Structure 1
């Protein structure tokens, strides 16, 4: 049987639990996590939260889909026009790469286009080289368009030490 990537809708705040349960059952899954960096009381705190609330991607056969439906925290697969929504491997890998590279990602709803490709201007890869046509760089942020899900992922460009001087902080000396 042929495996495909599907999207499963979970009960609220059960994404990580479902991912762990699927992994125990040896069903490949992907729960994109958003690395949230917050400064509290002058200390950096990092937490990981599901990027898409109440959704987990699963790589499954039709037989495994029945097993997945019977897991307690699963509501159902996401359907479009009477059949489960399927995703291409490159879409999953692009989301995986984007969530690995960036933190504090926000979501913006867009129009759903199942025939649409992930698209934009540039792609930012793990080795920090710009390739392909998937991530747009617009006004100090990166945008990844996901037309099949109806979302745009937005991540702010991280400022390097050189960027500090470009934002009007030339007179501040470090360590003083």
Structure 2
């Protein structure tokens, strides 16, 4: 089998296969120079020094402070104590630092760790509007569900009371008899 014949100046073997022992030899013909702009493996990335801000980025301490506030606000908004206590749990700081490292190593996500990021400012304004609105909708929907459940329970209680008050209507549980449907044959 010929491997990327368009990358070499040498003709492919006549049988269409590779010559034994030349696996990868076609790469020798490529002329690739390092442009000095990185883009290599993650090992080339600068190590993240905990707490020290990198050039143009907030530091891991500031990121962890935001991490904690985000959890606390989410916990207050949802009423979930687990979210409020999350940043104090074991491993929370390590998780925050790992998230920071991912953001730092991903250029398209740098806006999340740049101080004064216009995107983050806009997101905060949107969240300040949308989160309380969403919580209000949640409360209103819960009130509607509770009102519907209460009305259904009242209707059911009224129907039971009306059935029990009819002359000759004995409660099946009290007599042990099963009510007979009008279409059933009489035994």
TM-score of the superposition, structure 2-length normalised? 0.25
Higher RCO (CA < 8 A, seq sep 6+) = 1
Question: Counting helix residues as a fraction of each chain, which structure ranks higher?
Answer: 2
In terms of Rg, which structure is larger?
A: 2
Question: Counting strand residues as a fraction of each chain, which structure ranks higher?
Answer: 1
